[in-house]
Amino acid sequence: MSSLTDALKQLGQPLLDELEAIYTDVHRHPELSMQETRTAKIVADFLQALGYEVTREVGVTGVVAVLRNGAGATVMLRADMDALPMQEKTGLPYASTVVAKDEEGATVGVAHSCGHDMHVTWLLGAARVLAQNRRAWSGTAMLVFQPGEETAQGAASMVRDWGEGRFPRPDIILGQHVMVGAAGTVNFRPGVALSAGDSLKIRLFGRGSHGSQPQTSIDPVIMAAATTLRLQTIVSREIAPSEPAVLTIGALQAGTKENIIPDDATIKLNMRTFSDDTREYMLKAIRRICCAECEASGAERPPEFTTINSYPLTENDAQATRTLADAFHAEFGADASLAPNPASASEDFSVFGRTWGVPYVFWFVGGTDAGQYAKAVREKALNRIPSNHSPMFAPVIHPTLETGLRAMLAAASAWLGPQATATSGS
């Protein structure tokens, strides 16, 4: 157990009650990506009252807070703040009923169905423990509350706004995510922890006509259908079975009426890859197939490709992960474990470390009732537990709140403790 988690125990139930109130409030008032003004104000005001050097509106709505406490490493702790454009269906007493305008002007429900409200609460709790127990650590704590993770905008936006010398350069970057898993447990892995994710919009151009005169058209519906089928062969026929990859067509949109052949069709797809080489190959293959199908159909102009979002691999530093593992095993014992495989979800957390050349570690905290999770394991029914991005996703507050807070403090202590060194990554 670290000196900081010892300090957490001393603060006890009053702190947990305060954090639970913050969590339910943020959950009840979710905000869409790059619109997190209310959440950012709660965060910034909380940190300023604790004595942090607080900078607001970094990368639109991001908050950076710095607490200097003598010699030692600079440790960056990150939490994301945004919610999803979806209606919550949990039925919780603190469920969201918020509606808002998305970036395209459509009215949508808004819900914290990915757990970022828990991430914000964890980091605020860590901030209080660090500020009120300075004798327990040495170094510089830099807390980053990031907007726009769900749209892959936030980390890049903050990096662009960072500025030379505006904030301390971190020696290590640490982050965590609540996921399906037994509450009270944490897991981690060195190397690739999360997939790269790329979403594309592809517009295919035909020539419209009357449905009774197809010979006068270049039918983009047929073009899009053939393209959709052929794109599925990238993973099944061009990627080795030993190399995990996913390509999903999430939307195929064309036309307005059954007897009108439209001028164009749109495909929206998402792909997940676990190596940079496979990612680059698949992106090129998508372009090759789309262009070839358009040419085969006699299209008079090539397809138009637009990147919706792009997430890099999350690839944990090996040496830093060993340091983290030692801290977690000391803190959690058997409740800390090595994740057997990378997760197919994607994150923009690694943008910070990749941009600055700084080692980083990202890990996972279980948020499922432990009894429910054990029952699902016995019945081989884990896929029935509502996962992140489900309208029914709802982490149990306790012990998820305590576990994530302990994990963040134990990880920070590995670099900020009295014996910590300023370098622990490759």
The binding site for Mn(2+) consists of 114, 116, 150, 177
Spatial separation of the C-alpha atoms in residues 133 and 10, rounded to whole Å: 10
Q: How does strand 196-205 pair with strand 139-146?
A: unpaired
Spatial separation of the C-alpha atoms in residues 292 and 185, rounded to whole Å: 49
Name all contacts of 419-423 with Cβ < 8 Å and 24+ positions apart.
420/72, 420/73, 420/137, 420/138, 420/139, 421/73, 422/72, 422/73, 422/74, 422/139, 422/171, 423/73, 423/171
Count, residues in the chain: 426
Secondary structure of 299-331 in HEC code, one letter for each residue: CCCCCEEEEEEEECCEEECHHHHHHHHHHHHHH
Spatial separation of the C-alpha atoms in residues 359 and 425, rounded to whole Å: 5
Look up tokens 């439209």; give the residue. Answer: 262
Q: How many CB atoms lie within 10 A of CB 360?
A: 26
Spatial separation of the C-alpha atoms in residues 300 and 290, rounded to whole Å: 14
Backbone torsions φ then ψ of 224, nearest 5 degrees: -70, -40
Contact 49, 118 (CB under 8 A): no
Q: How many CB atoms lie within 10 A of CB 222?
A: 18
Rounded-to-10 torsion of CA 82, 86, 89, 95 = 40
Spatial separation of the C-alpha atoms in residues 302 and 290, rounded to whole Å: 9
Spatial separation of the C-alpha atoms in residues 122 and 60, rounded to whole Å: 22
Q: Phi-psi bin for 139: left (phi > 0), alpha (psi -120 to 50), beta?
A: left
Look up tokens 């026929």; give the residue. Answer: 237
Contact 90, 102 (CB under 8 A): no
Return binding residues. Answer: 114, 116, 150, 177
Look up tokens 């406490």; give the residue. Answer: 69
Of the candidates 70, 22, 24, 27, the residue with the CA atom closest to the CA atom of residue 46: 22
Spatial separation of the C-alpha atoms in residues 329 and 362, rounded to whole Å: 16
